[in-house]
Structure 1
Amino acid sequence: MKYRTLGPDLTVSALGLGCMPMAGVGANMYGAANEAESIATIHRAIELGVTLFDTAEVYGPLINEELVGRAIRGKRDRLVIATKFGFRFGDDGKVSGVDSTPANIRRACEGSLQRLGIDTIDLFYQHRVDPNVPIEDTVGAMAELVREGKLRFLGLSEASAATLRKAAAVHPIAALQSEYSLWERDIEEEILPTCRELGTGFVPYSPLGRGFLTGQITSRDDLPEGDYRRNDPRYSEENFAENLKIVDVVKRIAAAHGVSGAQVALAWLLAQGDDVVPIPGSKRRATLEDSMAAVEVSLTAEDLTALDRAAPRGGTAGPRYGGPMMKMVRL
């Protein structure tokens, strides 16, 4: 494994592990998961030198953090545990809206610490910007938890460049997490340059286009019933074939290097800068091992140019989310 730095001094593995598929938002979000295999996947990641593990209160809700907590018990040393807050839950346990009030931040932090079985959260993200709470108030409350020793570093997720600037004026922001991949490059226009100006690291989620860029999904019929991606606009009947044109180039480059499509897609992201730390999600050891091998893949200048041409910014067919979820990003 290789290592990179987020913000001024948070050292992490060049690739982290996105734990959401192990017990995500709703049942079978990316196909069914097996708890024993999920925990074995986390253990294997630690063996491979992965240090950054990403979860969230809303995954499950709650049960993903509990799973990660069980997996890291007795293995906490040198790990960087990242989790997220920012939602309100009804009496039925379902999400009832965003909530980044100071009181909810403290409630979420205390709950995450307990479920993860740790004394300090290494990286605490606001999961989605709350338009009803000034970001200065939110970050101020997060900073208070840093002073209390309950958090080490702060992060934002899916925030706009303007919001990031306001947040960083209150407390350093070590990382901004947003979707970034060969089929989602809009952050390159303003958000990524702002991160670099402010010294904030960038953590791409869905770096494999929710599995599309691996080349393993050749039709919608490959998705199991109930899979979230059946409702993903980019997986829709009208957009699927157009987006496969990106995958064709990924496959060609992968074949030339004798590696997998996933490794090419991740290697492209790693080549975008030493401040970029993707977190591919996995719930099985086989896919984990394949993804983590991307740190050893060196793409040529010709490879990078071909990928840029195949997947230019704004060139993917369809929006990355449906309407309601799109309204919650880049605020």
Structure 2
Amino acid sequence: MKKNRLGKSDLQVTELGLGCMSLGTDKAHAQKIIEAALDEGINYFDTADLYDFGVNEEIVGKSLKQVRDQVIIATKVGNRWNEQKDGWRWDPSKHYIKEAVKQNLKRLETDYIDLYQLHGGTIEDNIDETIEAFEELQAEGFIRYYGISSIRPNVIREYAKKSNIVSVMMQYSILDRNPEEKVLPFLHEQQISVVTRGSVAKGLLSEKALEKASPSGYLEHSYDELQQIITELQEKVADSRPLTEVALRYNLANPAVASVIVGASSIGQLQENVKAVNSAPLTKEEVALIQKIARAHTYPAHR
């Protein structure tokens, strides 16, 4: 599988990363999916302390322990569970991040994290303090590189200006082209890679398509708009290749995107995603046609 450099780092990530959130808590089943991902050549695994109260990190760490030097583990920090474990609060403070990383490392059974990501963020945060925490963790050897997970243009600009982030994880798909307006061109110019999630739009851009549609639609699209867009995509672009393939290759057609992070709840689903990413890139004509079919929207806030 093709690999791309993540920002200005020396991390080479596969074009498909395994989003581990959907693995569940059945450790044996989850491990089989992770092992299948390794067999398919995937080297990039994305988790977070928030997933299943940290159990997800434990599963990922144990499953990858024997191949630790061959893989890239990305996890996230900033959402702090309460004592009852029935809710969490946002805490991007330096004190919390530097304490939380110890638990991340313990659950992952590793001495270092390849990519440590802030799991959100607002413009009201003490961004300088947060950056200081990540810089110190990097200097101390606990993390190799850091990034943020955010869809907010104003937050992304601040981190791009003030920090050494190598990546931004964000939602991006044919049905959510908001990042194309300002964020993707800006990050590409800054040599900060984008790692995408939500590329199949909750299954709408898969073979199940409209079976997954809500009567209220998806984001800014009404149900009728979805029906029209998906039908046109199937007839004009996905006539010779699966819709999932079109969706994942559309993300990778943008020069800012280094990898698409996709979850899998079965080995079969994982293999379908691998086949989609390993397929031929979209032509310029196909990309233009997709953009004509699925209109772009703009961010209404956080500008």
1:20 lines up with 2:21 in the alignment: yes
1:51 lines up with 2:43 in the alignment: yes
Deviations 1:84-120 (A, max 9, x none): 0111221111333210001111122111111111111
- Shift in Å at residue 298 of structure 1? 2.6
1:88 lines up with 2:92 in the alignment: no
What CA distance in whole angstroms lies between the structure 1 residues aligned with 2:200 and 2:209? 12
Matched residue SS, 2:34 = helix
1:201 lines up with 2:193 in the alignment: yes
When residues 233 and 113 of structure 1 are mapped into structure 2, their CA distance, relative to the original with a 3 A threshold, is farther
- Shift in Å at residue 232 of structure 1? 8.3
Matched residue SS, 1:215 = coil
Aligned to 1:5: 5
Contact 1:55 1:64 in 2 (8 A): yes
Matched residue SS, 1:110 = helix
- Shift in Å at residue 209 of structure 1? 0.5
Aligned length: 301
The residue correspondences of 1:307-322 to structure 2 (distance < 5 A) are 307-314=290-297
- Shift in Å at residue 248 of structure 1? 2.0
Matched residue SS, 1:16 = strand
Deviations 1:220-271 (A, max 9, x none): 5xxxxxxxx97986289x93343133322333356533x3211110011111
What CA distance in whole angstroms lies between the structure 2 residues aligned with 1:276 and 1:232? 32
**Further displaced range: 191-200 or 306-315:** 306-315
Give the letter aligned to residue 262 of structure 2.
P
Matched residue SS, 1:234 = coil
- Shift in Å at residue 311 of structure 1? 1.2
- Shift in Å at residue 159 of structure 1? 5.1
What CA distance in whole angstroms lies between the structure 2 residues aligned with 1:286 and 1:245? 29
Give the letter aligned to residue 154 of structure 1.
Y
Give the letter aligned to residue 184 of structure 1.
D
2:130 to 114, 132, 138: 138
Aligned to 2:117: 125
Give the letter aligned to residue 151 of structure 1.
I
**Further displaced range: 120-129 or 277-286:** 277-286
When residues 170 and 131 of structure 1 are mapped into structure 2, their CA distance, relative to the original with a 3 A threshold, is closer
When residues 169 and 303 of structure 1 are mapped into structure 2, their CA distance, relative to the original with a 3 A threshold, is closer
Gaps of at least 5 residues in structure 1 are 24-32, 221-228, 320-325
- Shift in Å at residue 148 of structure 1? 0.7
1:243 lines up with 2:226 in the alignment: yes
1:260 lines up with 2:242 in the alignment: yes
When residues 48 and 166 of structure 1 are mapped into structure 2, their CA distance, relative to the original with a 3 A threshold, is same
When residues 102 and 278 of structure 1 are mapped into structure 2, their CA distance, relative to the original with a 3 A threshold, is same
What CA distance in whole angstroms lies between the structure 1 residues aligned with 2:151 and 2:55? 25
Superposition TM-score, scaled by structure 2 size: 0.90
Give the letter aligned to residue 222 of structure 2.
N
What CA distance in whole angstroms lies between the structure 2 residues aligned with 1:232 and 1:311? 18
What CA distance in whole angstroms lies between the structure 2 residues aligned with 1:216 and 1:159? 26
* RMSD after superposition: 2.6
The residue correspondences of 1:72-87 to structure 2 (distance < 5 A) are 72-87=64-79
What CA distance in whole angstroms lies between the structure 1 residues aligned with 2:22 and 2:91? 24
Superposition TM-score, scaled by structure 1 size: 0.83
When residues 103 and 132 of structure 1 are mapped into structure 2, their CA distance, relative to the original with a 3 A threshold, is farther
Contact 1:12 1:51 in 2 (8 A): yes
- Shift in Å at residue 274 of structure 1? 5.8
Contact 2:214 2:223 in 1 (8 A): no
- Shift in Å at residue 173 of structure 1? 0.7
What CA distance in whole angstroms lies between the structure 1 residues aligned with 2:27 and 2:294? 35
- Shift in Å at residue 219 of structure 1? 3.0
Matched residue SS, 2:205 = helix
Give the letter aligned to residue 271 of structure 2.
E
Contact 1:99 1:130 in 2 (8 A): no
Give the letter aligned to residue 45 of structure 1.
A
Aligned to 1:283: 265
**Further displaced range: 202-211 or 305-314:** 305-314
Give the letter aligned to residue 243 of structure 1.
L
Aligned to 1:27: none
Give the letter aligned to residue 281 of structure 1.
G
Deviations 1:123-178 (A, max 9, x none): 01101105553111101111100011000111011153443343244431110011
